Amino acid sequence: MSQRVLCRAVLSPIGGLLLALAAASSASPARASGRPAVRVGEVSISRDAGAAADAVPDLGKALRLALSDELSRVSNLGPLKQGLIVSATLTRLSSERREQGAQASAAISLALRRADDHVLLAELRGRASVEEPSGNLAILRRAALHGALRGALTHLPEAVQRSR
């Protein structure tokens, strides 16, 4: 019985490590297949976005992370001859509390460029609004930001196809 417990105690971390390695190797099908990756480029916050000046650095980081996250979910681009860069500008972000709950909305503009010569291939726009009866404004803003990015990125495969 103690051998069984010892065996499980040794094999469990090894199994977890193997699963983590398998997930890491399959997490980037673009790199695994040898096709050029779609990278995150410049990220900016428009002056008209409605953000306070002291919040812009944090918003920039949040936008970069959200863009990386949403780009990692795009899987239907097909083979790419060259690398692509997606740059983002947050054009609007607002939130407010109301009697019936909280609401947040975001609008985003993405620029799709070729990595080698930076030729602009497409501009993609997305926007989203989120409402909740008793929502945390920070969480709602983050959800609106992700929704706007997801909306813009739904057109990414079509833009890539047209650029070929």
**Mean pLDDT, the chain cut into blocks of 10 residues (164 residues total):** 41 40 40 63 83 67 92 81 91 88 94 92 96 86 93 92 78
Indicate whether 59 and 139 sit together in one domain: yes
What strands lie across the sheet with 38-45, from one edge to the other? 38-45, 84-98, 101-114, 120-132
Indicate whether 156 and 97 sit together in one domain: yes
Q: How far apart are CA 130 and CA 139, in angstroms?
A: 10
Q: How far apart are CA 15 and CA 11, in angstroms?
A: 6
Indicate whether 5 and 46 sit together in one domain: no
Structure tokens at 140: 């709602």
Indicate whether 26 and 77 sit together in one domain: no
Domain that holds residue 82: 35-163
Contact 111, 90 (CB under 8 A): no
Contact 126, 148 (CB under 8 A): yes
Instruction: Please give the full DSSP string across the chain, using - where no structure is assigned.
Output: -HHHHHHHHHHHHHHHHHHHHHHHHHS-HHHHTTPPPEEEEEEEE-GGG---GGGHHHHHHHHHHHHHHHHHH-------SS-EEEEEEEEEEEEEEETTEEEEEEEEEEEEEETTT--EEEEEEEEEEEEETT--HHHHHHHHHHHHHHHHHTTHHHHHHHH-
Indicate whether 25 and 53 sit together in one domain: no
Indicate whether 20 and 41 sit together in one domain: no
How many domains does the chain fold into?
2
Indicate whether 40 and 16 sit together in one domain: no
